[in-house]
Structures are given as structure tokens and as C-alpha cells.
Structure 1
Amino acid sequence: MSNLDLKPAPTSCGGEAGSGPVKDLLTGRLVPLGESTVVRRLLPNLGRRMVGAWCFVDHYGPDDIAEAPGMQVPPHPHMGLQTVSWLHQGEVLHRDSLGSLQTVRPRELGLMTSGRAISHSEESPRPHARYLHGAQLWVALPAAHRHIAPAFEHHPEPPVVTARGLRATVILGTLDTATSPGTTHSPLVGADLALTEGAELRLPLVPEFEYAVLAMSGRVDADGVPVEPGSMLYLGCGRPQLPLLARSDGAVLLLGGEPFEEKILMWWNFIGRTTEDIAQAREAWQAATDRF
């Protein structure tokens, strides 16, 4: 998915040590995307640019698109990052410059690695389901991997961990004993935690990771903090576990990873290290070169 801001500002990210345990509740700003979709942008956010290598988080829906075109994001480029498409309702048709053509459905992993350059489009297929609800996430590639060849992966059945009142789908990385088949290039984790009403548990964490919880649906408390759908609670580092309480059926995304020590520059859909990196990518896209 793209950042379609008409006048994007360069954003400096990374290069920061992780904090100890905190409870910073982040609210998203509404951003139009494509022809008819509005997203809640949680990262980058005022005071919080990254969570591990996770550097961009949009939450959208549930939207009733029965009489609407749904998601319509035209072809656009990416560089220096991975995109993660994650749905709870609806479908998204992914098409890219590698020739990939794939419909991504709820709780299937669509993972695109841009590396040195890729372009893609995303749209709701026709016909499509009535509701569209999901999250779009970016992962910054570390310097050693930011120029790798582009790739697209589709994993229809990511691994699942279950406990009383919990069904956790591992999007990326490892949770408990389950490891996602999605390719990663830095230590991180992403998991979809579906909770039944009344569930109360302590989720094991890696103390060296920093974490955040993105609320997707329902009413869930994370370490005693109610996290409403479309908001995200940043939790910092140094936690061996995370208390969760489901006050209704609900779902949250757990995002975490080692603090990203490299400084990066993010502009539009590009992640580089210098303004020259960004300028060269922009010129290549505008000139319609073979790079994209």
C-alpha cells in the first residue's frame, strides 16, 4: 500500500535505543488513500517513529463497500522496505512489476519485499465482499539487505498458537513455539491475537524487544490500558510478559522487534539513508525507468 500524501515530508526514523516499559497510547490521524479508502495512520506518529523495524502502520475499516469500489490504490513504487498486507474482512488483489497477481484474504500473509525497487497496485476485486477491514504495515530493511532483489510471498495459512481464550496467528517472526514462513531481515515479531470475551492471560515476550499493540476490534485491555479499535499502545522494552484482558470478543495485533539502531530517511514510499537515495528513486520513478 502507498503513502498517497500529496506533499509528504521527509521523516527521520530509527537510531534510538529502546525505552524501558512504558504505556504510551497513540491515536491515528485520518488519511485518504486511493479513491475511496480512509485509513488511520498510527506510525509514524508524534513522538514515536518506529517499533523495532516496523516503521509504518495503517488501520482501515470495517468499511461497508457493498455499493462502493472499495480499495483502489493505483500503481506506485517502493524501495528499502517490506509491506505486510493483513486482513480481517474482505479481499485485496495485489499486482506488481514482478508479474505477481494474488488475491489476499483474511488472515493470509501477503508480504512484498521491495529491496532496491518494485512497483505494485492494490484493489478490491470485483465482485467483492461487503466489508473491508485490515491493516497495512511496513518493515524497514537494514542496510545489509536494502538493495536485495524484490520479491513477493503469499502464505495462505500462517502458523497458529492457541491457549484458553486465545488464537494467535503468527504473521512474522516467532511467537511461543510457532514461526511464520514469511521472510524477515531483522529480529522482529508480528502476531494477530484473537481473544474471546473474558479471556485473561499473560503473553510471553522477549525482554530485548520493544512492543506495541494495535487494536483491531472489540474491547481489549493491554497491561490494564483499554485500547480502542484504531489506536495503538506503545509498550517499550524490558517486558517478559504482557497481561491481556478481553472485555468482549476482540482482536489486537502485537508488533515488536529489536530497537532499530540505524538512522533511516522515509519519504513517500521510499526508505533510504540520504536525501540522494530518495532523489534518485524519485527521478527513476518519474522517468519510468526499468528500475521500477
Structure 2
Amino acid sequence: MEKLKDLSLIVSQAARGELVFPTSVNAALRLQLALSDPDCHSEDVIRKVLGEPLLAARTVALSNAAVFKRSGETVTSVRGAVMRVGYRNLYTMAAAMVVRQFGSRIHDAALRHKAERLWQHTAHVAALAHVVARKITGVDADTALFAGIVHEAGGFYLLSRADDMPGLLEHPEEWLGPAQEIISREMMRKMAIPEAVAQAIVTLPGAVLTPPPSGLRDTLLIAKRLAPVPSPMYVPAGEARRNAALEHFVNDNEVLDRVLVESADEARSMSAALLA
């Protein structure tokens, strides 16, 4: 009963637009919003990135991932990294910082481990979504990368709240469905996620692939299925059976196999940069 009351509190907070964000997340969120300002001068952007050492390090790492390292030269400065990856991908890295902050404040060892696994899953999904978008679905690849980064934001939020509310996530059937969607929608709103991306994410649970795959949601579905680290969040029994078309597309697709082989280095280097 107490757990249901806790969940009810979180859902009602989400419905009222009052999700509780820790101070560290608010700081990263402000940086993300500043970077989204089209009038933000390049020198201001570089100063803001330099002011966040983790963001600076990850941006440099991303700029040296195979997909961006076209010239063969290794970038060693934040200025060079920002110029190479561009503002859109820098914005994605700032969003990644926001999402990761939720896991970093968890004290419970089991929940902290689950949050780390969820981040590993997120990084692989983002890298694979970038590949699938370019090679299979034709979706804008940078948008797919961004969507992959933020698609589990609601899960990170629930894990962070479970740290203060023991047992909150013990019975997934209580928070899956409408409760999960309400929380995810408010997370998307609070992080100022564009509507097209938010819609693809909130409708992802229970989504079914209808070949040929197209659109952002299908891109994320395929990337999640391909991710070498599965999500530690609850997956309903029979989910794979209900999505037989996705299983067939992933397991019996020569084109996809070739794409994955050709893009293995790109996906591996990008996910490594995100996990750094």
C-alpha cells in the first residue's frame, strides 16, 4: 500500500508538472537549454563546455569517434571538438549529462548498478540508432542519436526516486502503462525535448514494428533490440512474441547484417565515447 502511495505521488507530481529534479540535474539542464539558444555565440558555447569538465571530456571523445573523425586527425581541444561535432551533437552530449546525473546521485548499491546498466544500454542504443537511421530508416541520424540518449530518461527518474522510496519498482505492473507514460511525457517536457522526438519515445513501450521500418520509433525499436546490453528495466513477458516482425527483421536480414558489419567500428567508438 505504501509503495502505491509513493507511485501515486510521483504520477500526480508529473501530471501537475512538478517532477522533483536534484540540484545537479538542474545545473546540467540549464546548460542544455543555454546550448539550444540559436543566439548563443560560439565563444560562449566553448566557455560553457569548458565550465563542465565531464561534458568537455566526453565532447572531445565523441569528436574522435570513427563517425566524426573523417580527416584522420585526433582532436585534443574543446574548441576543435565543438567545431567537429557541431552544436546539435553538443546539445545531445549536454542532454546525456542531464540523464546521467540521475543515476550518479543514487546511494542504494543495487539501484546504482541498475542505473549504470541502463546507461550502458542507452549509450549502445544511441550509437546504433545513429547507424540504423543513416543506413536503414532514412531518419536524420543526429536526431536518432539524441532520441537514443534521452529515450530512457523516465527510467532514470524512477530509479532515482526509488532510492528515496524503497521497493517502489518491485512490482513493475504497478508503474508500467499509463503511469510510465505520464512520467515520461513530463520528463520530455521538462527537458524541452522536441515533440516529434517525445512522441516517438513515449509510444515506444509496446510498439510493434511493421516492415519496412521507417520513422524514429522504428529506428529506436531496432536499436534497442540490437543493443548488446539489454535494458535492466522490466520487459513484459511475451513482448518478443508480440513483436515477431521485429525479431524476424533483426535475425533474418542480410542487409541489416551487412550494415552492422560495415558500421561496427563507428557504433563501437561512438558508444565508447558516450560511456567515457
**Higher helix residue share:** 2
The normalised TM-score by structure 1 is 0.28
**Higher strand residue share:** 1
The normalised TM-score by structure 2 is 0.29
